[in-house]
Amino acid sequence: MESLEILLLLSTGTLREYTAEEVSRTLRTSLESAAARLQELHRSKLLARVECATSVKFRFDASAPGANIVVDLEKVYKTRRVSVISFIYSNPTDPLRAFSDAFRLRKDES
């Protein structure tokens, strides 16, 4: 959820650059968590990293592959927030584990 909120924050102001401190303050999350999510989104090629004299800033990369999906996601999130949140929390984070768990026998099934 935090990654989604950070991505949507940065995508709404594509020309604005944010430091981890600004993201942390705006979304009321820890600095460490904001910095980690920004790095993840940068590694995913959704954010551009801008080196400044005193800090590192990030901005949404509107030219990135999949950037148009983020714009659509923002629209859906505004109108169907609960559905998006439910979808995020209902999906397993590890598809391989979910697949293997589907074949696990439980005590009451044997």
Candidates 93, 75, 92, 96; CA nearest to 84 is 75
Given a contact cutoff of 8 angstroms between Cβ atoms, the answer to whether 6 and 27 are in contact is: yes
pLDDT value at position 62?
85
pTM, whole model, 2 decimals?
0.72
Options 3.40.50.720, 3.40.50.360, 3.40.50.300, 1.10.10.10; which CATH number does 2-94 get?
Answer: 1.10.10.10
| 14-51 pLDDT tens trace | 678 999 999 999 999 999 999 999 999 999 888 999 99
Higher-confidence position of 75 and 29: 29
**Terminus-to-terminus CA distance in the chain, angstroms?**
38
Q: Give residue limits of the domains in the chain.
A: 2-94
H-state helical runs in 13-110:
20-27, 31-43, 67-79, 81-90, 95-101
pLDDT value at position 98?
59
Given a contact cutoff of 8 angstroms between Cβ atoms, the answer to whether 46 and 37 are in contact is: no
